[in-house]
Amino acid sequence: MFDIQTYKKRSLLTQKIRDFFAKNGFLEVETPIMTTMPGMEPHLNPFETKLTLPSIMTIQKSVAKPNRPQSIPLYLNTSPELQMKKLLGAGFGNIFNITKVFRNGEIGGPLHNPEFTMIEWYRTNAAYTDLMKDCENLILSLVGKIPKNLLTYQSQTINLTPPWPRLSTNQLFQKYCKIDLNKNRTFKKFKKIALTRNFDTKNCKDWDDIFFKIFLNHIEPNLPKNKPIFIYDYPSTQAALARKKKSNPFFAERFELYIAGIELANAFSELINPNEQRKRLKEEQLLRKKLNKTVFDIDEEFLSGLGSIKKPCAGIAMGMDRLFMLLTNKKNIEEVLLFPLNKMLNNL
């Protein structure tokens, strides 16, 4: 059964998003769904397909290269990030993109569908703090005029009055876990203090494993539900495409936005040094190999484009389906999708 009224609301909200960015001087761009080289993020799994080339007699000269195979692997994009940064390098300025993205294995629960809609935008001459203001202004423009900026979601009242609270990952670990990340930068130290605090580190093979396990089990459930919250300055090992903090390079200029306990957005002050970026991509290649995942080639066009970006810039990805859940008061992502994969699988 299709919920026509909910989808009408979704359609209206999508138009309001476009209006917001047009009003603020952003150019809407389109990026390909299929790519020859997906992102290197170790914990994402792309869908793979193949391009079958026609007979050699009909191939255009630009495609017919010597020794080129008749079948070429392609991947459904997990994010438009690399392509959008190429556009920044070409001088496109402030840009936004509403696109489908695909992540294999992300199915089940109220917040995941392997195919979902993402809005991604980039500001030039900006840092991640500028994107925090964008988030506040965008969501307030979608909510419209409501008494005292109070939004109700699943019986929870959320105060959207800006500025929204901001806490660093280290502040959260100290507040909820009595752990100072600055003083526990090695796997050995982190594991020791985690065990001292009675946190489970079973099956944790590195520093980030401990971080994620504690964060997901002991911090995320305790995040305030009555106001949005920006969680910022993630460990630099978890932000391979982000600029490190000058004051403390152990952390990177990255934030995530949570509203009502739902993770909505992920943002960076962008790393635009191609040499440093190459180094980090090689590290991610090694990690993917360690995790027994497909290791992809480095996108040289992407690195070349980074070298052409002359001003600081910042970028953010926001899950539109989750945002629409919040704004239409729906508990499950499937309620804002016309064709959720779970329902299609039930028809098999």
253-310 pLDDT, tens digit per residue, is 999 999 999 999 999 999 999 999 999 999 999 999 988 999 999 999 999 999 999 9
Nearest residue to 222 (alpha-carbon basis) of 156, 172, 159, 165:
172
Q: Is the peptide bond before 42 cis (omega within 30 degrees of 0)?
A: no
Q: Determine, yes or no, domain membership for 97.
A: yes
Weakest-pLDDT range from 64-78, 204-218, 257-271, 325-339: 64-78
Residue 59, classed as helix, strand or coil, is coil
**Region label for 108, one of left (φ > 0), alpha (ψ between -120 and 50) or beta (otherwise):** left
- The amino acid that residue 278 corresponds to is R
Mean pLDDT, residues 126-153: 96
Residue with tokens 């804002």: 336
Nearest residue to 80 (alpha-carbon basis) of 333, 336, 315:
315
Q: Determine, yes or no, domain membership for 49.
A: no
Q: Determine, yes or no, domain membership for 22.
A: yes
Q: Determine, yes or no, domain membership for 45.
A: no
- 217 to 160, 214, 221, 309: CA distances (angstroms): 26, 5, 7, 39
Q: What is the per-residue pLDDT for 59? A: 54
68 has pLDDT over 70: no
Across 68-82, 310-324, 334-348, which has the greatest mean pLDDT?
310-324
CATH number of the CATH domain containing 286: 3.30.930.10
- The amino acid that residue 104 corresponds to is N
Under 8 Å between Cβ of 30 and 97: yes
Q: Is residue 157 within a helix (H) or strand (E), and if so which, with residue range?
A: strand 156-159
> How many angstroms separate the CA atoms of 24 and 94, rounded?
9
1 has pLDDT over 80: no
Per DSSP bridges, beta strands 71-76 and 27-28 are: unpaired
Q: Determine, yes or no, domain membership for 191.
A: no
Each residue's pLDDT tens digit, 35-67: 999 888 888 999 999 998 876 545 555 555 666
Domain that holds residue 279: 4-35+78-165+224-346
pTM to 2 decimal places: 0.94
Nearest residue to 240 (alpha-carbon basis) of 276, 187, 190:
276
**Token pair listed for 52:** 């079958």
Q: Determine, yes or no, domain membership for 41.
A: no
Q: Determine, yes or no, domain membership for 283.
A: yes
Q: Determine, yes or no, domain membership for 52.
A: no
> How many angstroms separate the CA atoms of 321 and 119, rounded?
10
> How many angstroms separate the CA atoms of 63 and 52, rounded?
12
Domains in the chain, number: 1
Instruction: Give the chain's mean pLDDT.
Output: 94
